């Protein structure tokens, strides 16, 4: 079993829709949770970062962590064609010296 599971997609939705991207994980010791966005032919860039459980909002993006279910989500409101990219989740333990464990990424396509 992989430590982090992420549906590779592609997930195709119309412009303006609410998008939900998800990762599940098996290690209950994970405390730090991140979402990176990777455009085609570019490197990943950090989008959101949360510690432990709860929600964090930044503009149209909301990151949610449910540690009891070992499940994290990224919601995108009012999705735009410019949001089309691959979204990578990553997480780490507090004692892991920055050994991030990554999901394989979900490819998102926003249709105009």
User: What residues contact residue 14 under an 8 Å CB cut-off, 6+ apart?
Assistant: 110, 111
CB closer to another protein, 2 vs 77 = 2
Cα distance between residue 6 and residue 65, in whole Å: 15
CB closer to another protein, 19 vs 33 = 33
Minimum distance of another protein from residue 112's CB (angstroms): 26
Q: Give 17's DSSP letter.
A: -
Minimum distance of another protein from residue 16's CB (angstroms): 29
CB closer to another protein, 3 vs 15 = 3
Minimum distance of another protein from residue 110's CB (angstroms): 21
CB closer to another protein, 37 vs 83 = 37
For residue 24, with 0-12 CB atoms within 10 Å meaning exposed, 13-18 middle and 19 or more buried, which class applies?
middle
Strand, helix or coil for residue 31? strand
Residue ranges in contact with another protein by CB under 8 A: 2, 4, 8, 32, 34, 41-46, 49, 51, 88, 90, 92, 94, 97-105
Minimum distance of another protein from residue 14's CB (angstroms): 25
Q: 25, 44, 31: which is closest to 88 by C-alpha?
A: 44
């Amino acid at each position: 079993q992989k430590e982090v599971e992420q549906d590779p997609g592609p997930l195709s939705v119309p412009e303006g829709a609410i998008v939900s991207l998800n990762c599940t994980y098996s290690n209950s010791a994970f405390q730090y949770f991140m979402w990176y966005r990777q455009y085609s032919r570019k490197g990943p860039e950090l989008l959101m970062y949360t510690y432990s459980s709860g929600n964090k909002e930044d503009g149209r993006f909301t990151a949610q962590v449910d540690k009891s279910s070992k499940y994290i989500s990224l919601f995108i409101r009012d999705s735009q064609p410019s949001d089309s990219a691959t979204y990578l989740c990553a997480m780490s333990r507090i004692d892991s010296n920055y050994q991030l464990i990554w999901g394989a990424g979900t490819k998102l396509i926003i249709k105009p």
